[in-house]
């Protein structure tokens, strides 16, 4: 009995160029660098008909990116600029912030969780946590997932 697969993982180096260009055109659209599908196809060096033919069948594989995501829980003083300072510290050391969840402050302290991509950090997550602890307004900080 032969098994049929719906998807295959293929190295980009062996893909026909039309697939790579289609993925590039989709990225240009998603990033707002192209204002229409026609513009995206042209910018990627692809015919419109090829783009329309393959656009719904091509998606990048980002399966390993979850290994580079950390979630930080913090309790911050309810004062202007405290959250901004935390986010600045994270991004200033190469963290790419993915999500921010902040609840309403209770007793002057707001619980905040931040998920960030860590693959481009210029310091270790532990060092980053130590730096964050010294920021004004950080009452508590914990690395929940790395």
Average pLDDT value for the chain: 90
Identify whether residues 44 and 87 lie together within a single domain: no
Structural domain contains residue 44: yes
Check which CATH number belongs to the domain holding 103 and give it: 3.30.70.260
pLDDT of 69 over the 60 cut: yes
Cα gap 127→107, rounded to integer Å: 29
Identify whether residues 26 and 96 lie together within a single domain: no
| Beta carbons of 58 and 22 less than 8 angstroms apart | yes
Identify whether residues 132 and 92 lie together within a single domain: yes
Instruction: Label residue 62 by pLDDT band (50, 70, 90).
Output: low
Model confidence pLDDT, tens digit, residues 27-49 = 999 999 999 999 999 999 999 99
Model confidence pLDDT, tens digit, residues 90-132 = 999 999 999 999 999 999 999 999 999 998 999 988 899 999 9
| DSSP H/E element including 67 | none
| Beta carbons of 74 and 140 less than 8 angstroms apart | yes
Name the nearest CA neighbour of 145 among 69, 85, 65, 79. 69
Structural domain contains residue 110: yes
| Other Cβ atoms closer than 10 A to 118 | 19
For the chain, the farthest-separated pair of C-alpha atoms sits apart, in whole angstroms, at: 66
pTM more than 0.85: no
Section 64-77 average pLDDT: 83
Structural domain contains residue 6: no
Domain containing residue 119: 65-145
pLDDT of 67 over the 80 cut: no
Residue 1 is predicted with a pLDDT of: 47
Cα gap 101→71, rounded to integer Å: 11
Section 61-85 average pLDDT: 85
Structural domain contains residue 2: no
Instruction: Label residue 146 by pLDDT band (50, 70, 90).
Output: low
Cα gap 25→10, rounded to integer Å: 19
Q: Strands (DSSP E) along the chain, which ranges?
A: 69-77, 96-102, 109-117, 138-145
Domains: count for the chain: 2
Residue 2 is predicted with a pLDDT of: 59
- The pair phi, psi for residue 105, each rounded to 5°, is -65, 145
- The pair phi, psi for residue 99, each rounded to 5°, is -140, 150
């Amino acid at each position: 009995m032969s098994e049929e697969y719906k998807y295959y993982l293929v190295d980009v180096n062996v893909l026909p160029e039309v697939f790579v260009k289609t993925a590039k055109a989709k990225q240009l659209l998603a990033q707002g660098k192209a204002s229409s599908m026609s513009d995206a196809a042209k910018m990627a060096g692809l015919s419109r008909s090829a783009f329309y033919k393959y656009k719904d069948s091509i998606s990048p594989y980002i399966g390993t990116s979850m290994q580079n995501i950390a979630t930080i829980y913090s309790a911050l003083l309810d004062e202007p600029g405290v959250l901004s300072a935390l986010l600045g510290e994270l991004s200033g050391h190469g963290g790419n912030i993915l999500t921010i969840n902040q609840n309403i402050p209770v007793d002057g302290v707001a619980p905040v969780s931040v998920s960030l991509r860590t693959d481009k950090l210029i310091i270790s997550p532990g060092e980053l946590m130590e730096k964050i602890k010294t920021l004004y307004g950080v009452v508590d900080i914990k690395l929940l997932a790395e």
